[in-house]
Amino acid sequence: MKKQRLVLAGNGMAGIHCIEEVLKLNRQMFEIVIFGSEPHPNYNRILLSSVLQGEASLDDITLNNKDWYDKHGITLYTGETVVHIDTVQQRVITDRKRTHSYDKLIVATGSSPHILPIPGADKEGVYGFRTIEDCQALMSMAKHYQKAAVIGAGLLGLEAAVGLQHLGMDVSVIHHSAGIMQKQLDQTASRLLQTELERKGLTFLLEKDTVSISGTSRADGICFKDGSSLKADLIVMAAGVRPNIQLAVSAGIAVNRGIIVNDYMQTSEPNVYAVGECAEHNGTLYGLAAPLYEQGKALAKHICGAPCEGYQGSAPSAALKIAGIDVWSAGKVHEDERTTSIKIYDEQTGIYKKALFEDDKLAGVILFGDTRDKQRFLDSLLKQRDISIVKKQIIEPENTGTLFDSMSSSETICQCNSVTKGAIEEAVHTKGLTTVEEVKHCTKASGSCGGCKPLVKDLLRHMTSSEYTEPAVTPSFCGCTDFTEDDIIAELQRRPFTNPGEAMSQLGWKTNNGCRKCVPAIQYYLEMLYPGFVQPESAAEDTYILIPQMYGGRTNAEQLRNIANIIEAYSISDVSITHGQRLKLSGIKPADLPNIKKDLKMPVRSNEHHRTLQSVKACTCGQNRSIQQLAAQIERHLEMLSMPAYISISLSCETDCTDAAIQDVGAIRTQAGWDIYIGGVRGTHARSGALFCVTDNADSTASMIKGLIQYYRETAHYLEAVHQWMDRLGIVHIREVLFEEDLKTQLLESLQTDLSLIQNPPVQAGAHKKG
């Protein structure tokens, strides 16, 4: 199928994160073309202040280098801007007169610094602080000039001011309001922060309105509305940002302050989407990494056709990235008639905490001086936790060790990239990570806004301490029970239950009838423990599917003639060829099913057979009849067995087809014998299986494959695919089992016993329980 063309206008964090999510969902669906106005690959704009403050280099903040684009087959045009969208012809035109058609277009043009519309704003020496070029210019100017002024005391302005001071400049911060960071902090926190920054050497001029920039061709100072002035050689405008919506406006796309989008990030024009700082969702603009990443994930799922509830909005949070100062807030920060609050202020230690509540549910938090619990408060905010829970959190903060011990594996450490505590622990244990930088590269935790970096560092330190205990608790299997999957299996082995209902009743299920996850799982494990177990009758299907068995993909004129007669006699209109080289007869009426089975005079598979081997696919090259014979032999031995999940097996020749390499289990005939592969993946995320072993002849190949399948059946979890099972147990362990001749013999004997019990079920289910 021809790929759709996905064009991204904007090479920033939000747009590229969306592309990353698309690649995860369906790598083959789109031909991807990206236009970026800046001459760089994707980088972390949020951490530019860290570069200015000397805590990171420009290389450190690069998120995706040129190799990443090449690896994923993405066409990247840097230093080139989309200037027009033709929504009728579905094409974009750039400032270099390049034209590209699109099937889907994502507008991720971000925002630009708000340059005050005052006389002198265009003079040399006046900068915004938004790009790598801005950062480089400020670093260069700091070598030649002494006095700097930053207009704006929001997050970005304060971080820029501290950065310039780090470069040796004398810095004044000008702000039109009475308090700094007034959107994120209340008066108390704002005053505390100002005091700390003044101790670091910053000067603040509050309630000052700038009316002009003085100087001839180059700026030399600032003039204020009250008639006062300030000398400055370098001026940084950090008075907020404005969404870049001009491209949308010129294309007739609906805008307000930003480009208006719905929950799926769709604009008013078909096949045109917007994401990031330029997008306005339910009247709100977002400028932080976590909300923009959530938008990108929702958009990716939508255009890839994956199930998606859409973007539901985000709770805003902000952390100041200045070394030695811990400030964080989230949600609502200013009281009104609807709110109540809990406040703690320790003047001696400089610690201030405030939690705001609406209807006794957490609505906002401010932390100053001690931000260790910020992730827990954010989790409480997102889950709208009750005042009684939050009150304990704010009054009795936990030390680092207790904090992590009480934190479940599913709790989020990095909100931007949705990285949990458990994911970091697993990465540390399995890959031997020891530094925050290694954790960032492996899991992306702390790789966006950097706000969780101290928490990641504390977790790493805790994991190497004597207080740390490796997590042993596995999440319960489903919401119907507190049992883990392994607990369920152990109980089913210990007690002779005869059906899922009895098992759920005796094991204290929270729900009467279970759910779609646990009921079929218990049914499967009962089938494994009691071969020949009679399944409860399910509701009759509206129509049935029958697949006449053609072992090894081979048939003859008599079989085909008989099938054709049946198709005509029973008016079966839907007939197709399956991926497994079989004819599929669909839409069969329930009343006709018994007679069709009888008239076919050959084994059949139907949609009554769930999680069983559908077929063993074989190479159809004329010289490889031996491959088809081996496929038929294996299929006859395995066809009635229940499997943990749907399973594919394929046998191929070396020269004409390599289909076997991407199946759950596959064997490729070579001149020397057979190469057996396991753990391949088909579909949109296809991957080659791992070479498991080499065998000499057809008999040893059949024996190895049957032993593998039986070990998979006995040790895999319900619905665990072969590649997941292999990743969990490890291919080395599976080899150790199958290469031990006695163990393989036991598996084959167990397989034969299961087949015998299925073909000749015991009189009473449970009489032949396996150990």
Question: Residue 653, annotated ligand binder?
Answer: yes
**In this predicted structure, what is the pLDDT of residue 178?**
94
**In this predicted structure, what is the pLDDT of residue 157?**
93
171 CB-near residues (< 8 Å, 6+ apart): 148, 149, 150, 161, 162, 164, 165, 201, 202, 203
234 and 143 fall within a common domain? yes
**In this predicted structure, what is the pLDDT of residue 766?**
42
**In this predicted structure, what is the pLDDT of residue 703?**
94
Contacts 24+ apart (CB under 8 A), 82-88: 82/9, 82/35, 82/247, 83/247, 84/247, 84/250, 84/251, 85/9, 85/247, 85/248, 85/250, 85/251, 85/253, 85/272, 86/251, 87/251, 87/252, 87/253, 87/269, 87/270, 87/272
Q: How far apart are the first and last CA of the chain?
A: 49
* Tens-place pLDDT, residues 649-700: 888 887 656 677 788 898 888 888 889 999 988 766 677 888 899 999 999 9
Report d(CA 47, CA 57) in Å as an integer: 10
**In this predicted structure, what is the pLDDT of residue 769?**
44
254 and 168 fall within a common domain? no
695 occurs within a structural domain: yes
Containing domain of residue 586, as a range? 544-606
722 occurs within a structural domain: yes
Question: Residue 223, annotated ligand binder?
Answer: no
- In this structure, are strands 544-548 and 604-606 parallel, antiparallel, or unpaired? antiparallel
712 occurs within a structural domain: yes
193 and 288 fall within a common domain? no
149 and 105 fall within a common domain? no
643 occurs within a structural domain: yes
71 and 144 fall within a common domain? no
Among residues 385, 381, 378, which one has the least CA distance to residue 414?
378
Q: Tell whether the torsion through CA atoms of 495, 501, 504 and 507 is positive or negative.
A: negative
| Domain limit, last residue, from 304, 320, 352 | 304
What one-letter code names the amino acid at 189? A
**In this predicted structure, what is the pLDDT of residue 764?**
44
197 and 217 fall within a common domain? yes
Residue located via tokens 């570069």: 51
559 and 682 fall within a common domain? no
Local structure of residue 325 (DSSP, 8 states) = B
**In this predicted structure, what is the pLDDT of residue 765?**
40
633 occurs within a structural domain: yes
Give helix then strand counts, H and E, for the chain: 24, 39
244 CB-near residues (< 8 Å, 6+ apart): 109, 110, 111, 112, 277, 278
Instruction: Count CB neighbours of 586 within 10 A.
Output: 15
CATH number of the domain that residue 199 is part of = 3.50.50.60
| Domain limit, last residue, from 554, 572, 606 | 606
In the chain, which residues have pLDDT < 70? Answer: 1, 386, 388-389, 392-393, 395-410, 467-476, 493-496, 530-542, 550-553, 579-582, 605-612, 614, 620-624, 655-658, 683-685, 759-771
As beta bridge partners, residue 683 has: none
As beta bridge partners, residue 419 has: 414
Question: Residue 657, annotated ligand binder?
Answer: yes
Q: Would you state the torsion angle of the CA atoms of residues 265, 267, 272, 276, taken in this order, to the nearest 10 degrees?
A: -50
Instruction: Please state the domain count of the chain.
Output: 5
Question: Residue 442, annotated ligand binder?
Answer: no
340 occurs within a structural domain: no
320 occurs within a structural domain: no
169 and 280 fall within a common domain? no
| Domain limit, last residue, from 606, 624, 649 | 606
328 occurs within a structural domain: no
Instruction: Count CB neighbours of 308 within 10 A.
Output: 16
CATH number of the domain that residue 753 is part of = 3.30.413.10
581 and 665 fall within a common domain? no
**In this predicted structure, what is the pLDDT of residue 395?**
62
107 and 253 fall within a common domain? yes
671 and 552 fall within a common domain? no
**In this predicted structure, what is the pLDDT of residue 532?**
56
Report d(CA 69, CA 334) in Å as an integer: 44
**In this predicted structure, what is the pLDDT of residue 768?**
43
**In this predicted structure, what is the pLDDT of residue 509?**
85
**In this predicted structure, what is the pLDDT of residue 595?**
87
